[in-house]
Amino acid sequence: MPDGVEVKQNGRILEVKLNKPKVNAIDIPMSQALGAAFAELRDNPDLWVGILTAEGEKIFSAGWDLKALNSGEVELDNWWETADYGDGGFAGLTENWNLNKPVIAALNGLVIGGGFELAMGCDLLIAAEHVEFGLPEMPLGMVPDAGALQRLPRRIPHNIAMEMFLLGRRMSADEAAHYGLVNKVVPKEKLLDQAREWAESIAWSAPLAMQSVKEVQRAIECVPLEDAFKKMRTENLPVYRKMLKSDDAAEGVAAFVEKREPNFKGE
């Protein structure tokens, strides 16, 4: 595990764990390893859902490894444009536009900087009770442009997002749940069990239907309602089109009529 990423397959679930002492800071090799892990989730038909978590209870991830940046690992001139983060952008998720399988984040410590941006690249967020979120880039003369600037004001009130950007204020897990930024807050000892419970539930659903949700949502985001319907009906959305004609769709209807559990195969 020299790249700081542990990957484990559990049936239809792929678990990806950050494990790089002391703060799970993400350098280029680690970002590339995360990209490879989520590419495996995307491309392996036997995998239907992913879980992202981290080792330890104090820090989920401190984000970009500034020590590695300062060491000369990356050319400082335009490093944000020239760095090879790997598949899916920084940390494998922040700009992953073709991962249609859902990813659950199990957040078990401070979620700050690029770690926060990585978490926002997930579809469902579960946080332990002691978790806090923060964006400390401003005192470094930088901005959180790996997803926070783009995603955070769309998920919480704009003025609260600006407080986090400009004043560096932290947000507790409970406050994040209040704003809908996280889906659920649980005791730390129940965090991974809750993530696995949700993943198991997803893993027994129709995979093409689940993947269609992400594909369609991505296509219609920020589009006026009438245009959203038109895009869904007319745009090239291959997973959605495949789902409409799938054996799984027929199986779901048949199972409902016959009052039995469906047997979905992703076909």
251 is catalytic: no
Q: Among 15, 132, 137, 215, which one carries the catalytic annotation? A: 137
Angle at 56 between CA 50 and CA 58, to 5 degrees: 115
Question: Mean per-residue pLDDT for 104-113?
Answer: 96
- Read off φ and ψ for residue 261, nearest 5 degrees: -75, 135
Residue 17's SS3 state is strand
Q: Average model confidence (pLDDT) for the chain? A: 91
| 66 confidence band (pLDDT: 50, 70, 90) | confident
Helix axes 207-220, 225-234, angle to 10 degrees: 130
The pLDDT value recorded for residue 126 is 99
120 contacts: CB under 8 Å, gap ≥ 6: 94, 147, 148, 151, 152, 155
Residue 37's SS3 state is helix
Instruction: Look at residue 89 and tell me whether its pLDDT is greater than 60.
Output: yes
Question: Which is nearest to 131 in space by CA: 53, 180, 185?
Answer: 185
163 is catalytic: no
Q: How many CB atoms lie within 10 A of CB 234?
A: 8
Residue 103's H or E segment, with its range, is strand 103-107
What's the CA gap between 127 and 186, in Å, rounded?
6
Question: Mean per-residue pLDDT for 83-104?
Answer: 91
Helices (H) then strands (E): counts for the chain: 12, 10
Q: Among 117, 197, 226, 258, which one carries the catalytic annotation? A: 117
Question: Mean per-residue pLDDT for 15-26?
Answer: 93
pTM beyond cutoff 0.95: no
